[in-house]
Amino acid sequence: MRIVIFGAGLIGRQLRDRLRDEGHDVVALGREAGIDTTTGEGVATAVAGADVVVDLTNSPSWADDDVLAFFRDSTRHLLAAEAEAGVAHHVILSIVGADRLTDAGYMRAKLAQEEGVLDGPVPFTIVRSTQFFEFVAGIADAGTDGDTVRATPAHLQPIASADVVRRLAEIVTAAPVKGTVEIAGPEPLGIDELVRRWLAATGDRRTVTADPAAGYFGAVLDDAALTPTPGADAWLAPTTYDAWLAART
Q: Residue 75: pLDDT above 80? A: yes
How high is the mean pLDDT of the chain? 95
Residue ranges of domains in the chain: 2-248
Q: pLDDT grade, residue 32 (50/70/90)? A: confident
Return the CATH class of domain 2-248: alpha beta
Position 133 confidence tier, pLDDT thresholds 50, 70, 90: very high
> Pairing relation of β-strands 180-184 and 124-129?
parallel
Q: List, edge to edge, every strand of the sheet that includes 52-55.
A: 25-29, 2-6, 52-55, 89-95, 124-129, 180-184, 235-236
Residue 38: is its pLDDT beyond 80? Answer: yes
Please give the average per-residue pLDDT across 108-136, as a whole number.
97
Q: Report yes or no: 214 and 151 within 8 Å, Cβ to Cβ.
A: yes
Q: How far apart are the first and last CA of the chain?
A: 37
62 pLDDT more than 90: no
- Is the pLDDT at 78 greater than 80? The verdict is yes
Q: What is residue 86's predicted lDDT score, i.e. its pLDDT?
A: 98
- Residue pLDDT, tens place only, 138-167: 999 999 999 999 999 999 999 999 999 999
**Does this model's pTM top 0.85?**
yes
Q: Is the pLDDT of residue 217 over 80?
A: no
**Mean predicted confidence (pLDDT) in 115-131:** 98
Query: pLDDT band for position 36 (50/70/90)?
Result: very high
> Cα–Cα distance between 52 and 243 in angstroms, integer?
33
